[in-house]
Structure 1
């Protein structure tokens, strides 16, 4: 049987996955893809009725079985059908999820898209009227850039993962823990991946926005609105994982 990728960091965007990818790249028993975000299982241009995994495997050196091989594409947690496609590829894969306060995540996501020029609207409009833009997206209801609110429904997303993978193959972490206690968090990840404890590390920032002047700030009204939108989902996440952000 051809070797397969052992683990995937599937989310969430703007929750520290870049820092985690960099940390894991320093572990001698862990091998990573040649780019951080492979974007294979969210590629709608592939024939998913008969997928060819050759292009995916070309991103790794899977013949080296002295390492656990993995990648980090944080849109997988959110994107339609990605989890089903991963399960069809490798039902024994181990999955890692980093979660950040969904309100903070949404604003950080907006700042990233505004800084890169993909977004031109104010944050307060984006999380209200701007959500209608997802109905013009393909697949319907999913958008790579403008999904500020939708990517934060973690309870629904985790429930979907658990419908396709057993809980013991899933590790869910808080981005705050990676930032505040990186060595302890990486020891936990190493145990999950069945590799030795990590070597000493140099702490780094988990998430930082581009230094520029933004036309919006995260207001108390925005926070209140988003917390109302997330209330039921937050309860679902707490029931599934014990994780709460407020």
Structure 2
């Protein structure tokens, strides 16, 4: 009988939604086996032959299979086209974890990260309005790894795709705000989702705090209002899909 794939769970989204903190907390549990590095970026790799993927290259990022739940955290998977389909082909029984954050705060944090990296030089106000046109010149069309500040916040759209590939009971949806405020409760939910007994939560800490530099922009009330309007319909759909919404 064929052995099941060794990777049994993924933190699949969202970028700037607390995935680094969650991965860091989970690394403290000896009954979990996590990848090195945190983000393997296998299922979003467009250079691979997806007609005959080399899963050996993927498995090289993980400890040898020993019965522990084995997983990684690549938050672009929820957003990137075909990533969820590739995950399903690899392991249709995959347990998925998605941490959400207020999409306005997520967009602002994403822009700050790209600006600090030097990938972005335009102000935030321009990026969330005229700058969205840059995605029409991207490959795959309409998707961009760096400039997708607004697009990654359409959560309902992404969940609709996710739930066509995986049953709802295989998906745990968390709030980044809850992980920060009450990590023990959030980690308990993760352990239940992975079929593990409850265990003492690691000590509370801040992880991956943004760089303290001059960003040349600020999050203005008019930008918040603009994004709330952009996300309004998607947030209403999100409430129907996962039971809560932002804004």
TM-score by length of 2: 0.97
Q: How does 1:66-215 map to 2 (within 5 A)?
A: 67-206=68-207, 208-215=209-216
Structure 1 CA distance for aligned equivalents of residues 208 and 55 of structure 2? 31
1:40-82 deviations in Å (ceiling 9; x for gaps): 00000011112111100111124211x1100000000110110
* Counterpart residue number, 1:57: 59
Unaligned stretches of 5+ residues in structure 1: none
Moved over 6 A (4+): none
Q: What's the offset of the Cα at 1:175?
A: 0.2
* Counterpart residue number, 1:46: 48
Aligned match of 2:32 in 30, 33, 36?
A: 30
| Secondary structure, counterpart of 2:71 in structure 1 | strand
Structure 1 CA distance for aligned equivalents of residues 75 and 64 of structure 2? 21
Contact 2:6 2:59 in 1 (8 A): yes
1:200-223 deviations in Å (ceiling 9; x for gaps): 311122552111111111111101
1:120-151 deviations in Å (ceiling 9; x for gaps): 00000000111011111111111000000000
Contact 1:24 1:30 in 2 (8 A): yes
Structure 2 CA distance for aligned equivalents of residues 85 and 182 of structure 1? 31
Structure 2 CA distance for aligned equivalents of residues 227 and 237 of structure 1? 14
Structure 1 CA distance for aligned equivalents of residues 100 and 207 of structure 2? 12
Q: How does 1:211-226 map to 2 (within 5 A)?
A: 211-226=212-227
Contact 1:15 1:207 in 2 (8 A): no
Contact 2:10 2:72 in 1 (8 A): yes
| Secondary structure, counterpart of 1:238 in structure 2 | helix
* Counterpart residue number, 1:237: 238
Q: What's the offset of the Cα at 1:197?
A: 1.6
| Secondary structure, counterpart of 1:41 in structure 2 | coil
Q: What's the offset of the Cα at 1:98?
A: 0.2
| Secondary structure, counterpart of 1:9 in structure 2 | strand
| Secondary structure, counterpart of 1:77 in structure 2 | coil
TM-score by length of 1: 0.97
Contact 1:14 1:207 in 2 (8 A): no
Q: What's the offset of the Cα at 1:198?
A: 3.0
| Secondary structure, counterpart of 1:98 in structure 2 | strand
Structure 2 CA distance for aligned equivalents of residues 63 and 205 of structure 1? 31
1:185-209 deviations in Å (ceiling 9; x for gaps): 1011101101122333111225521
